[in-house]
Amino acid sequence: MRRNVLNCLCFVVLAGSTAACGGAQFKATPNEKPQRALKHGAKVEVVETADALPQPVIVVGALSEVTKKGEDDRKNVEKDFKLLAAGRGCDAVVGLKLDAEEQRGNQKVYHKDADGKVSMAVEEVVTQTYRWKAQCVRSAAADGAAPAKSSAVAPGPAPEPAVVSGDTDPAVQSVATKLAGFETNYLRQWKDKLHATTVDPLDAVAATLELMAQVDKFWKVTVPMDWLGCRTDPRSEACVNHAKLIKDFRRADELRHEMERLDRSVSALNWLRKNGGRVTVYLDTFVPAETSDSAMRATLFWTEHQAR
């Protein structure tokens, strides 16, 4: 017998700090000098990347929270993170993302029949856990002053995107503009369609899927097989660590599966209006500027994994 338990029944331990369900937590960047709290009423932004923030910027720490309803809790999580960030001297919450996980276990359940006899059964319990994560970042504009000197520099900018203009829907244009930044190394054949006066939503989806296929092959084949030698020595430390890293690729796979089901411009437009931000986060997280070792190590996907 199986039951789905949708309420959160967990706590998370993150290298010395404990985050319980229903509360935002802060974990300082190792060896990072504490920053003074922002002045009362100071604005805290929620942004996808640190690129547009006044430079230099520093990563003061990591923010995390576990909630019950997943995406429905986004506004509450943003509010929690802003309050916590301000207290830690951060004027930006960067790269907010949600990971959903299932935890399976068994529990004993006792039943009483019509005659009053009690029997015991073991039921499978599936617990859905929603974990939110973001970076607590202080920019040069925090309280009108530069941040304290730091060694924790936020990830550098992605390739400079070309400008896409015209009558394109804003949600589609946002994705098309981001994709245009990858034309040189990944999407040469999509240049005309990404720069069309009106970008077809289905073209934006198709170009994204083609880029995802190349990136998927890069992380799952090129890196382990060609660079790390996992074809001949899959049990080496480097290969074992890479296999652990690839497990976190599931959120990218889930996004790709959703996009593969879109077969009409109207459905693609509606999907991008709701999920364009997820596509942008994917591009900022998983796609290296080029297929090189240095570019791979500069991705947010790699740096996040190394920080764990």
**R_g of the chain, CA atoms, integer Å:** 22
Whether residue 166 is predicted with pLDDT greater than 60 in this model: the reply is no
**pLDDT (tens digit per residue) in 57-111:** 888 889 988 887 778 888 888 988 988 888 888 999 999 988 876 666 676 666 6
Dihedral through CA 115, CA 117, CA 123, CA 128, nearest 10?
70
Token readout for 130 is 């929603």
Q: Rounded CA gap, 172 and 272, in Å? A: 6
Are the CB atoms for 271 and 259 separated by under 8 Å? yes
Whether residue 144 is predicted with pLDDT greater than 50 in this model: the reply is yes
**pLDDT of 57:** 84
**pLDDT (tens digit per residue) in 207-225:** 999 999 999 999 999 988 8
